[in-house]
Amino acid sequence: MTNYERIEKAIGYINTHFKDQPDLDEVARQVYLSPFHFQRLFKEWAGVTPKKFLQYTSLAYAKQLLQQKHSLADVSFEAGLSGTSRLHDLFISIEGMTPGEYKNEGENLRINYSFAETFVGDVLIASTDKGICHISFAKNQDEELITLRGRYPRALFVQRTDLHQQNALQVFKNDWKDLEKIKLHLKASPFQIKVWEALLKIPFGSISTYATIAQDIQLPNAPRAVGTAVANNPVAFLIPCHRVIKSTGLIGEYHWGSTKKSALIGWEASQSFGE
């Protein structure tokens, strides 16, 4: 059995038996490896530990049940978790919100939003009373607004520009000196927050790689997981995911297209060198 076949079989086993919450020893036995060697091999190939992969699988199933309006107790039981406290911890550690908050889909949350013209085109910017929760490039304003509403289906949306938005929009005028004035209100897991904090440390006009970010957050074997967290950044440009490229030097993927990513990198470089 090749290493690829071992990982494929292990993933299949977890996907089939996640309700039983198999431990490391049990999954390792399925691929005829010691727990130590299996854990190391799985993380090298999948970017996360077997335990974390099991948590992601359980969480995805729990989300489906919550969207179907099942009770928290029923969801905990159906997902193979020992109780609602386990379900709560799972959501907090990965999603950065409670299962109740996920189920409520933004209910009782007021979100101000507006469209603004910038040097890179129109952006959609949104904020709560706590800070910025969304920035996206808005080539099609209607489509971007639909996407935003889809993230908070039950929230109250008001088209209004507030101080949070005004402060954040300053970065599009090449004004990064007052970042401390910009407040963020993001739904995210601790891992995503760690990755986004690392992105904020990339200097203006500079670039980094997914592998370097993984090293910076002391998870050198998790560049794929870093890539996923970068892709899930809900605040375009302000959290500079455009400054991350592949180790090969290729620009890599970008939610709004590789052309825009290249343009942003080039513009920042020219500003840094005063061209």
- Catalytic residue set: 241
Is residue 40 within 8 Å of 72, Cβ to Cβ?
no
Q: How far, in Å, CA of 97 to CA of 186, rounded?
A: 10
Distances (CA, A) of 1 to 13, 15, 30, 43, 169: 16, 20, 12, 18, 54
SS3 content of the chain, % helix, strand, coil (to 5): 55, 10, 35
CA dihedral 69, 112, 190, 218 (to 10 degrees): 140
Q: Which residues, including other chains, have CB under 8 Å from residue 196's CB and lie 6 or more apart?
A: 186, 188, 229, 233, 239
Q: Give the number of C-alpha atoms closer than 13 A to the C-alpha of residue 9, restricted to the C-beta side.
A: 16
92, two tokens: 């907090």
The full DSSP string for 197-238 is HHHHTSPTT--EEHHHHHHHTT-TT-HHHHHHHHHT-SBTTT
DSSP conformation class of 179: G
